[in-house]
Amino acid sequence: MAKKQARTVSVMAEDPLWYKDAVIYELHIKSFFDSNNDGIGDIPGVIQKLDYLQELGVSAIWLLPFYPSPLLDDGYDIADYYNINAHYGTLSDFRRLLREAHRRGIRIITELVINHTSDQHKWFQRARRAKPGSVHRDYYVWTDKPEKYEDARIIFTDSEASNWSWDPVAGQYYWHRFYHHQPDLNFDNPRVCEEIFTVLDFWFEMGVDGMRLDAVPYLFEREDTNCENLPETHAFLKALRSRMDEKFPGRMLLAEANQWPEDAAAYFGDGDECHMCFHFPIMPRLFMALRTEDRFPVIDMLEQSMNIPENCQWGMFLRNHDELTLEMVTDQERDYMYRAYAQDPRARINVGIRRRLAPLLDNNR
């Protein structure tokens, strides 16, 4: 368990619904601004650019993962939830970022990547050596038979042939919904849930204003299901939200649920799960509408998205690091998007398109 940290002295003005009209700027520390000319962006560099971000009208900054990591998935493979990647700075630098951002009326949103860890995380290294069936072994999901949960789709189809990988140290297969170096945590183990609660406490006590919950639909596994959007996941989120509301009122949880509106909206619960949810289906339809010069794809999706709790909000985005994913379109719409924006096969990755905005739009201003 982490040591209790002193709270950041700065306090934002009380507005429990601040996220409903927030202008959120996503940035990756390593590529944003380099303050010491070592070729890597850093936290002091972000601090130097806070006035610039304030002038843009930004009211919240969303920081991609900044934790110690092997960086095989751009930091989403976390090796330590309680520290800062040394290339980016220190915990002291991060506390100063919080103070300086808050002084300018800018909130800070960080990543809570809870579905999986890096295989270098001490929990996994301990689990693979622990006795099968023990509490520590069961921090992750293991099996002797990789046919288990066969109805779950493979997400990274370009690089993974299975959701199971063999671990020679453990002598069993472990479950991973993403890359094989990112074993999934086992949320059926109460100790894992307590670990995640403690991580949340650590960063909120420091002064973080919100957390993006990465890959939240995949927390639990059940046979004869697709292992997505399960009731157990929503029960866990309600417990997480209840704890947060009790200890840290005014903070925010943002769900990354790449799902159709009906399934994504479920992560609002009755206003007692996540405060916000990214609206993945709207993003490709913005580009579709632009190319077809027809607003229908956007209007149609918005009309499917209106019925959400009063205290909740969709996170609408044109660009973020997940675009241009085409998971939440029909097969016909995906074929159209490939023809319109990615005729070169090299511009396609997994179920989506990887191109910068200018070439995506034919450099047409």
Of 214, 221, 228, 323, which is the active-site residue?
Answer: 214
Q: Are 159 and 73 in contact (CB under 8 A)?
A: no
What is the chain's length? 365
Nearest Cα to Cα of residue 285 among 275, 296, 277, 270: 296
b/e string for 1-12 if b means 16 or more Cβ within 10 A? Answer: eeeeeeebeeeb
Nearest Cα to Cα of residue 177 among 213, 212, 220, 138: 220
Chain position carrying tokens 């989120």: 237
Q: Which two tokens stand for residue 212?
A: 């993006």
Q: Are 151 and 225 in contact (CB under 8 A)?
A: yes
Distances (CA, A) of 167 to 144, 180, 185, 355: 11, 10, 15, 35
User: Can you give the three-state secondary structure of 113-166, one letter per residue?
Assistant: ECCECCCCCHHHHHHHHCCCCCCCHHHECEECCCCCCCCCCCCCCCCCCCCEEE
Of 77, 111, 138, 256, which is the active-site residue?
Answer: 256
Q: Which two tokens stand for residue 15?
A: 């507005």
Is 214 an active-site residue? yes
What DSSP character marks residue 15?
-
Contacts 24+ apart (CB under 8 A), 1-4: 1/195, 1/198, 2/81, 2/82, 2/198, 2/199, 2/201, 2/202, 4/205
Please enumerate in sequence order all residues whose Cβ is within 8 A of that of 220, keeping only pairs 6 or more positions apart, or say none: 187, 188, 227, 230, 232, 233, 236
Is 158 an active-site residue? no
List, by residue number, the catalytic residues: 214, 256
